[in-house]
Structure 1
Amino acid sequence: MKNHLTLRELSEDDKPREKITRHGASLLSNAELIAVIIGSGQRNMTAVELGQRLLNFYDSNLERLHKVSVDELCQNEELKGIGEAKACKIIAALELGSRVKHQKKTMVQIKCPMDAAAYLSQEMFGYEREHFVILLLNTKNMVFKTELISVGTVNASLVHPREVFNPAVRQRATSIILAHNHPSGDTTPSSNDIELTERLVQAGKLLGIEVLDHVVVSDCAEDYFSFKEHDYF
């Protein structure tokens, strides 16, 4: 007995690949785009329906879906029909889209802590673990690159000045902004955050690379903590 309904078995009007050919990809729903990527569904479920089930599980949040691993997709009992091959295709497509988005970005000028928070909350949206990054800035305070330093609990033992300032020295940044996210949504800095900030500010002075701020962000741009605004510098 046949276990999969393929896109070929759908009516002509319902075939996502034919829709792309006739009308372009922009007119397809997210579920239809996923169907094109995975190619087939499972017993009693078309590829489009399987794509919609996947979206429903993640509340149609593509940013959230982009953060999941292959194992998470494959091992999810509610997403039967998505094996390793399909999971890899989905994650690869989302990553490619993310890279296109970042490639199109123009450099952002940081004039105040709120500018940094708005930029960072978008960059780090949906992360379920703490990520420590630095923004590399030129002489006009334009961000020309975001460097990931570590993933996990932020403390002085895990984030070493060498790892923080190597990218800045190598890429000739005039100054940097330290940043990390609090997945809980509470951006109040911990004692580790404060200790680490003091250590990195001093290291920056020795190297001649100014640390302009350390910003703690959440998914909401308005909820942030700036060490500069609170006179820690």
Structure 2
Amino acid sequence: MTMNHVKDAVGAYVPTVQQSTLAKANLIDTLLGSGLGTEILSGLVGEAEVSPRNLRDRLRVAIRAGALPLTPKRLQKLQAALELGRQLYVEETPPGDVLDDPYTAAAVFNCIAWEPVEKFAIACMDVKHRLFSCCVISSGTATETCVHPREVFSAAMRAGGTRCIVAHNHPSGSTEPSKEDIELTKQLLAASKVMGIPILDHLVVSRGASTSLRTTTALWQE
């Protein structure tokens, strides 16, 4: 194969904006019927290229607003496809997996990352950081959830955890810790010294993204 052939092959592989948009339109056509994919995407994004997450969010907003040119049956199909995609993405981390970094730990909390209200959860591990349980401790509103250190360590002791990682979600999509998040983390770390159950990290998760307070703050060095 000559260099020109290599260049042509690589060029054919890299999707252009038009190819990427066409691929999404073809998927919608397959699901709902010929021509609807292009019509829906043109109305939502025009000729702009958007991320899958951005497109998903735009579709959900359009569905709630009744802004899509779809019959009730086709609208139901589209909603089912979006929900199926969400559920397939949210895979459970099997017990026994070692949680030795924030990225691996964040996957445990995919179960709350897409929730429309804030939820606080705890993952309990053994001394070798092997996961054996994860549960939701509290559920709140779209902007906050209330949890007390007592509830966190009660859950840890019931599960027999000797190491824990806690997390909560931000339905807004931002994973930037709030002042309240930092203050709660301080309380949890202080209580963990008394209880003898180390809190290894506090994660903020949302829609596939996450922030580790252990790696982005100095709280564990205080």
TM-score in terms of structure 1 length = 0.54
- Aligned residues with identical type, % of pairs: 27
1:63 CA displacement: 3.1
Measure, in 2, the Cα distance between the counterparts of 1:63 and 1:144. 31
In 2, are the aligned partners of 1:118 and 1:222 still within 8 Å (CA)?
A: no
| Residue from 79, 84, 97 that aligns with 1:96 | 84
In 2, are the aligned partners of 1:70 and 1:88 still within 8 Å (CA)?
A: no
Measure, in 1, the Cα distance between the counterparts of 2:128 and 2:207. 27
Measure, in 1, the Cα distance between the counterparts of 2:123 and 2:208. 19
Deviations 1:121-173 (A, max 9, x none): 89487889765443343443244565454354346xx2244664566456544
Measure, in 1, the Cα distance between the counterparts of 2:210 and 2:87. 26
| Residue from 39, 49, 60 that aligns with 2:38 | 49
Q: Does 1:73 align with 2:63?
A: yes
- In the alignment, which residue of structure 2 is the partner of 1:31? 25
- In the alignment, which residue of structure 1 is the partner of 2:203? 215
- In the alignment, which residue of structure 2 is the partner of 1:120? 106
SS at match of 2:213: strand
In 2, are the aligned partners of 1:32 and 1:48 still within 8 Å (CA)?
A: yes
In 1, are the aligned partners of 2:166 and 2:203 still within 8 Å (CA)?
A: yes
In 1, are the aligned partners of 2:202 and 2:212 still within 8 Å (CA)?
A: no
TM-score in terms of structure 2 length = 0.55
Q: Which runs of 5+ in 2 are unaligned?
A: 1-21
Q: Which amino acid aligns with 1:215?
A: L
In 2, are the aligned partners of 1:66 and 1:91 still within 8 Å (CA)?
A: no
Measure, in 2, the Cα distance between the counterparts of 1:220 and 1:102. 9
Q: Which runs of 5+ in 1 are unaligned?
A: 1-27
Aligned pair in 2 of structure 1 residues 229, 54: CA closer, same or farther (>3 Å)?
Answer: same
In 2, are the aligned partners of 1:178 and 1:213 still within 8 Å (CA)?
A: yes
1:211 CA displacement: 1.9
1:75 CA displacement: 0.8
Q: How does 1:1-233 map to 2 (within 5 A)?
A: 29-37=23-31, 39-40=32-33, 46-53=35-42, 56=45, 60-66=50-56, 72-75=62-65, 77=67, 80-82=68-70, 85-103=73-91, 109-111=98-100, 115-117=101-103, 119-120=105-106, 123=110, 132-143=120-131, 147-148=135-136, 149-150=138-139, 152-154=142-144, 158-161=146-149, 164=152, 168=156, 171-180=159-168, 187=176, 189-190=178-179, 192-201=180-189, 209-216=197-204, 224-226=212-214, 230-232=218-220
Measure, in 2, the Cα distance between the counterparts of 1:164 and 1:50. 49
How well do the aligned residues superpose, as a CA RMSD in angstroms?
4.8
- Count of aligned positions: 193
